[in-house]
Amino acid sequence: MQPDHSPDAAPVSVVTGAGSGIGRVVARALLDAGHRVAFAGRRADRLTEAAEWAPAGKVLVVPTDVTSEESVDALFDTVRERWGRVDVLFNNAGTNVAATPLEDFTLAQWSKVVDTNLTGAFLCARAAFRVMREQDPRGGRIINNGSVSAHVPRPDAVAYNASKHAITGLTKSISLEGRRHGIACGQIDIGNAATPLTERMDEGVRQADDTIAPEPTMDVAHVADAVRYLAALPLSANVQFMTVMATTMPFIGRG
Residues involved in catalysis: 160
Separation of alpha carbons 109 and 15, rounded Å: 25
DSSP for the chain? ------TTS--EEEEETTTSHHHHHHHHHHHHTT-EEEEEES-HHHHHHHHTTSPTTSEEEEE--TT-HHHHHHHHHHHHHHHS---EEEE------S---GGG--HHHHHHHHIIIIIHHHHHHHHHHHHHHHSSS--EEEEEE--GGGTSPPTT-HHHHHHHHHHHHHHHHHHHHHGGGTEEEEEEEEE-EESGGGGGGGT-EE-TTS-EE----EETHHHHHHHHHHHHS-TT----EEEEE-TTSS-TT--
How far apart, in whole angstroms, are the C-alpha atoms of residue 105 and residue 163?
15
Q: Distance between CA 149 and CA 251 in Å, rounded? A: 9
Q: Are strands 212-213 and 205-206 parallel, antiparallel or unpaired?
A: antiparallel
Integer Cα distance of 137 and 85 in angstroms: 9
Is the CB of residue 99 less than 8 Å from the CB of residue 152?
no
